[in-house]
Every structure is written in C-alpha cells, then in structure tokens.
Chain A
Amino acid sequence: MKHELFEILQFGIYSASILLILIGLYAALTKRSLIKIVIGLSIIDAGIHLLLVAIGYINMGTAPIFSPGYEDAAATMVDPVPQALVLTAIVIGFAVTAVALSLVIRLYRHHHTLEIDEIKNLKW
C-alpha cells in the first residue's frame, strides 16, 4: 500500500475507534434504559479494542507467525502484543457484560421496569 493511502487509512481507523468510544459513552451516560446502558458499555469496549489493534498495525504487515518462507519476516510483522491484549480485554468485557445483564435481570424482577428513573431507591 502506498504511504499516503496508509496514512489516510490509519487516520480513518483511529477516528472510527474514537467515534465508537464516544458513541458508547453517550449511550452509557444519557440513556435511561438499563439494557441500553449495558450496550453502551460494550460499544466503548469495542472502540478501545479497535484502537489497540490499530496501534499494533504496520504498513504491509504480515501475521506475527514464523512459518516456512517467512523465517526473516520479523521486521514486517505486525506487533502481536496488542492482539494478545485485545483477546484478554474481550474476555474481560464479556465477563463484565454477563454480570451486568444478570444484574439487569435481577432489577427487572424486583421492579418490573428497566427505566433507571423508576428504580432509584438509593441516592446517587
């Protein structure tokens, strides 16, 4: 890929990830439905994962695996560390979402509503 094109692509991916984070933040902070808040949290996670993967990418990068024909490809490999981080972060995000949804189920059974305004027993 040409250098200029790569720059544009990289800029696009970075802005997309930041946009995702902002969309998620908007949903988590302004929506009044518990399910939408949980969705917002997941979108924030997705944005950060995209950001992490984009940090590790290099122009014309190959998969970070030493295989026949690619013995001296270390310089052109993408950075494997962010990918490992993203894998871990996805699992953690999954666990948090599962806990959050189970709490939403509990709240729904208790209050028979998902609107956060109607649930407030505790002071914020």
Chain B
Amino acid sequence: MVGTPVLLIAIPLLAAFLIPLLGMLWKELVRIIPGIVLAYMMILSASLLYYVLENGPIIEVLGGWSPPMGINLVFSPLTGFLTTIMTFLGFIVWLYSYRFKRNVDFEPAKKYFIFLMMLVAGAVGIVLTGDIFNQFVFIEIVGISAYALTAFYTGRNSAEASFKYLLMGSLSASALLIAIAIVYSQLGTLNMAEIASKVHLMDPTFKVIAMIFFIVGIGIEAEMFPLNGWAPDAYTEAPGPIGAAFAGILVKAGIYAMVRMIFTLFDVPGAVDFLLAIGLVTLIIAETAAVKQDRLKRMLAYSSIGQMGLVMVAFGIGTLEGVYAALFLMLNHAIIKPLLFLSGSYLVFNSKDKYINEVNGLGKYLPITSVLFSLGAFAIVGLPPFAGFWSKLSILMAAANEGMLLIIALILMVSVVEIVYYFRVVNRIYFFEKSKDVIPHRPRFNALLSMIVLGVIILVIGFYPDSVTGIIHKASEDLMNTEQYINNVLSVGKSLTK
C-alpha cells in the first residue's frame, strides 16, 4: 500500500493550486509536477485496485464522521477499475502534451496543466465518492475545468462552444441540485448507501421525479441523447489532447454516476429499459450524424457519442453479462478513442478547419501516426483481433442471451455505418494524393511514445483479452450487488460508533 483513496483526490487538487507558485521558482516545474502527480495517482490507483480485488472494498471515512452523517469514499473493484483507467489516461494526456506551447508562452501552459489536474481530480472524485451532494460538487469541478479547457484557444470559435457547454452544464447542474433537494426532503440523508437502503420509503411519485432530475443532471456529462449538443463543438474547439481527456475521463465519470444512480440508488422499475431505449436513440442518431461530417474531430466526437450510446445499451440489457460488456466497452473506448484523437490531431495539425480531405496521402509523410490512427479505426469498429472486437462480441452475446434480436440487428447495422466513415478516412490517408498546401507536422518523441503505449495496449487486449476480463468480471459483480454495497458502507459507520 502506498496510500489511501483520498490521496487520489487531494494530491491533484493540491498540485493544481501549487502549480502557479512553483512556476515562479522554475518554469519547467509547471510541466514536470503534473507528470509526477499523475504517475503517482496511476500507481496508487493500480496498487489499491490490486489490493481491493483480493481483500474486498476499502471504505474511507473523511473527517472522522461515520458514513450516514459524513462523506465516505468507496474504493471497490468497480470504482477502482474506473479510477485506474482515468488516472492512466490522465498520465497519457500529460505525456502527449508535455511540450505544449513550450517555446511559445508560459501562461497558457500553466493554465492548461492546472485545469488538466482539476479535470482528473474531479472525475476521480465523481467515481469514488459515496455522497450525492459531494458528487454534485465534483461534477461542478469537472464542469468548470472542462468549460475553461474548451475555451482554451482564443483564435477559434472556442468561446462560443464553451458558452454553449456552460449553458447546458449549468442548467443540468441545477436539475441535479433540485433532485438532491427532493431526495433530502424525503429521506433526510445524502449518503448513497443509506438512500439505497431507504429508497422504498420514498413516495413513488417523488422517486420518479427525483430520478428524472438526476438523469437530466448527469446525462450531460454522459453524452446522453438530447443533452449532448455540447459535445461535437467542445471536442472540435478544445485542444487535441483535451478531446482525448474528455472521451477517456470526463464521459466515463458521467456514465458511472448515471449507472450508479439507476442500478443502486433508485429501484424504479423500467429505469433500465429507459437506459436501453435512450442508448439506442443516442447510438443511431450519433452514428448517422458522424457519416455526414466533413471535419475530422467532429466526426470523432459524434463517434464518441455513439459509443457512449452503445455503452448505455449494454447497461440497459440489465443482466450481469450486459454490465460486463458495458464495462469492457468503456475500457476499450477509453483507450481507443484517445488514440484516435491524439493521432488525429497530428494528422490535421497545421490545418485551420480540420477537414477530413486534408489527411489525403499523409500515410507516406507521417507513417507511425497514420498506422496508429488506422489501428484505432480498426479497433473501434470491432475488427478481430483488436480490442474493440471482444467488447462488441460480448454486447451481442449478452443481448442474444436475453433474446433481444432486434437490438443485435440494430447494433450490427450501426457497425456497418461506423465502418463506412472510419474506413473512408483510412482510405484517404493511404490511397489519395497529398495536396501541395498541406504541411505535415511530425510528432515529437513524447507524443509518439504516448500514442504507441495506447496502440500496444489495444493489441495486448486484442490478443490476450483474459488479461483484463477477470477485473471486469469482479467490477460488474460489484455493480450488480446493491445489498453488499449498502452493507459495506453502513457497517463501517456502525463499527466506528461502537
């Protein structure tokens, strides 16, 4: 053991606020400190996950107030699995953007790294916390850093994308706060485990109203269908690595909060079916919209929304296999989509509008980046032997076990659409002539390293899926077992008060 779960939140927040001071001492510290912190978080999270898989969840009590009263952190196989992915992604994004504006200007880099740390800290907090109001606070921390990162470049339309995101984000945060007020007025508690144990006492009408407000409040970070209007613009206007961070970190936290709420907090019959239906709508609309896009990052953004729809469909199947498939897909998406964003932003590095036809013929000029982008494209559409194949297969098998044949047909049809628009780009990279006014930009060593790490992981999961399935099985059992979650958290409270 190298620490406790609370350090996963405390250290990045501390580092984020120390960065400006340390930058006064030596400017290079602004770049080095986030790397050290994120590497430490990654190691801490992985070692805690290893411990938790053997010995059962860690419930950490904050400030000495026992769980139903105070805030507690839950580091279980599920939450540990997600925090490990997020901190790893945070580290990869740091590695990629280590030289961000290095010889240009000091101020932007400082802000960039501060908000990157806050984004990771908030996302980890959303996943770890066991208190709904605390989760609201973390959602706002993630939100504010995401608005700021979206508006990062002053030259583009980024302020407009960011304002749009802020408008939707702050309206949905208000909905979340109303939901918290309803739950508190009915049950008199904010602790997730206690809400889950008492939720049958709640008036059914209020329960459904509170759940709807919760879904509206969290759905925005999870890119759920009517609330995902911010995503294409934010992904397009934000710096390239931030697109990767959104897809790998922020959206995963949103999906987790939503699923925890539907599976654990409220046992409303039909909520899971709602997830299935909204997931299908999200999937179909996003994938058809992706085909029409003529800008690379916008296409990737719609594809990201579509993948989140697929995750919701898999959760919506509602069985253990469905949850397993959804978590597997979340892992794969968290690795493949950042690879696509990172390599894709080098393919259109010097282009102003990032049109897809500007990648024509770059396969000769940027060989490694192009190979990595193609690898990501093959993996995300689910070609065997790459990582995406196994998760798509497990979703189809989970649906087949439940006899949901129509859903299988829809998923396969959408996969064909996915193949069309990804292979269109790959085709352009390799078989088109490069136009003269496109100047390819070679990636730096650190950026190349971060992309190669992601590519190797895709191949490893693709050829040896057994290396991760054990963890995902334990995580999915952890999500389905509400009784155990309640007992784990509340028993800590009892043992403290004795």
Of B55-63, B175-183, B252-260, which binds chain A? B175-183
Given known pairs A81-B190, A122-B157, A122-B233, the reply for A37 and B184 (CB within 8 Å) is no
Of A89, A99, A104, A122, the contact of B177 (CB 8 Å cutoff): A89
Contacts of A120 in B (CB 8 A): 160
Q: Is the CB of A81 within 8 A of B166?
A: no
**Pair A88/B137 contact, Cβ less than 8 Å:** yes
Stretch at the interface among B147-155, B242-250, B312-320: B147-155
B148 and A55 contact, CB distance less than 8 A: no
Q: Judging by beta carbons under 8 Å apart, are A100 and B163 in contact? A: yes
B228-245 interface bits toward A, Cβ cutoff 8 Å, 1 = contact, 0 = none: 010001001100000000
Q: Which of A21, A81, A85, A100 contacts B170 (CB 8 A)?
A: A100
Q: Is B267 an interface residue (CB 8 A)?
A: no
Chain A residues bordering chain B, tally (CB within 8 A): 34
Contact mask for chain B residues 187-209; partner A; CB cutoff 8 A; 1 contact, 0 none: 01010000000000000000000
Q: Kindly state the separation between the CA atoms of A52 and B136 in the bound complex, as whole angstroms.
A: 14
The answer to whether A82 and B163 touch across the interface, beta carbons within 8 angstroms, is no
With both beta carbons as reference points, the residue of chain A lying nearest to B147 in the complex is identified as A99
Shortest Cβ gap from A76 to chain B (Å)? 17
Asked if A119 lies at the interface with its beta carbon under 8 angstroms from chain B, I say yes
- A95 CB-CB contact with B under 8 Å: yes
How distant is the Cα of A24 from the Cα of B137 in the complex, in angstroms?
21
B159 within 8 A of A: yes
- Assess whether B495 is interfacial by the CB under 8 Å rule: no
The answer to whether A48 and B174 have CB atoms under 8 Å apart is yes
> What residues of chain B lie closer than 8 Å to A28, measured between beta carbons?
167, 171
* Residue A78 is within 8 A (CB to CB) of chain B in the complex: no
Whether B185 sits at the interface, judged by CB under 8 Å, is yes
Given A88-B137, A92-B140, A106-B151, CB of A119 within 8 Å of CB of B160:
yes
Residue B164 contacts which of A48, A79, A124 (CB distance < 8 angstroms)? A124
Closest A residue by C-beta to B148 = A99
Which of chain B's residues has its CB closest to A122's CB? B233
* Docked CA distance A39–B276 (Å): 37
Q: Indicate which residue in A79, A100, A124 contacts B166 across the interface (CB closer than 8 Å).
A: A100
Q: Which residues of A contact B280 (CB under 8 A)?
A: none
Inter-chain CA distance A107–B166, complex, in Å, is 14
A15 to chain B, nearest CB (A): 15
* Separation of A81 and B64 alpha carbons in the complex (Å): 17
B162 lies within 8 A of chain A by Cβ = yes
A77 interface hit (Cβ, 8 Å): no
Q: Are A124 and B154 in contact, CB atoms less than 8 angstroms apart?
A: no
**Does A58 lie at the interface of the complex (its beta carbon under 8 Å from any beta carbon of B)?**
no
Number of A-B residue pairs having CB atoms within 8 Å of each other in the complex: 83
- Which A86-116 residues have a C-beta within 8 angstroms of B? 88-89, 92, 95-96, 99-100, 103-104, 106-107, 110
Contact B151–A103 (Cβ < 8 Å):
yes
Q: Which of the listed residues A81, A82, A103 has the most CB atoms from chain B within 10 Å of its own CB?
A: A103
| Contact present for A44 and B174 (CB under 8 Å) | yes
Known interface pairs A28-B167, A44-B171, A45-B174. Does A52 touch B162 (Cβ–Cβ under 8 Å)? no
- Please determine whether A48 and B181 come into contact, CB atoms closer than 8 angstroms: yes
Q: Once the chains bind, are B166 and A99 in contact (CB under 8 Å)?
A: yes
B459 at the interface (CB under 8 A from A): no
**Complex: A44 Cα to B173 Cα, angstroms:** 11
State in angstroms the CA–CA spacing of A21 and B161 once bound together: 25
* Residues of A with C-beta under 8 A to B181: 48, 51-52, 55, 82
B166 touches A122 (CB 8 A): no
* B164 and A122 contact, CB distance less than 8 A: yes
B46 at the interface (CB under 8 A from A): no
Q: Mark A38-54, 1 if CB is under 8 A from B, else 0.
A: 00010011001001100
The answer to whether B178 and A48 have CB atoms under 8 Å apart is yes
Contacts of A67 in B (CB 8 A): none
Contacts of A103 in B (CB 8 A): 147, 151, 159, 162-163, 166
* Contact status of A41 and B163, CB under 8 A, knowing A81-B184, A106-B154, A124-B229: no
Q: Which residues of B contact A82 (CB under 8 A)?
A: 181, 184
Interface flag for A121 (CB, 8 Å): yes
Give the Cβ gap from A43 to chain B, nearest Cβ, in Å: 10
Q: Is the CB of B180 within 8 A of A55?
A: no
Q: Please tell me if the beta carbons of A121 and B163 are within 8 angstroms of each other in the complex.
A: no
- Residues in B whose Cβ lies below 8 Å from that of A99: 144, 147-148, 166
Distance of B90 from chain A, by nearest CB (Å):
22
In the complex, residue of chain A having the shortest beta-carbon distance to the beta carbon of B133:
A85
Q: A residues touching B (Cβ–Cβ < 8 Å)?
A: 21, 25, 28, 34, 37, 41, 44-45, 48, 51-52, 55, 79, 81-82, 85, 88-89, 92, 95-96, 99-100, 103-104, 106-107, 110, 119-124
Can you identify 8 A-B contacts, CB atoms within 8 angstroms?
A89-B177, A95-B140, A103-B147, A103-B162, A103-B163, A107-B160, A119-B160, A121-B160
Nearest 10 A/B pairs, CB to CB: A106-B159, A55-B185, A121-B157, A92-B140, A103-B163, A122-B233, A44-B174, A48-B177, A107-B159, A96-B170
A45-B174, A103-B163, A107-B159 known; 10 other A-B pairs, CB under 8 Å?
A: A44-B174, A51-B178, A55-B185, A81-B184, A88-B137, A95-B140, A106-B159, A119-B160, A122-B160, A124-B164
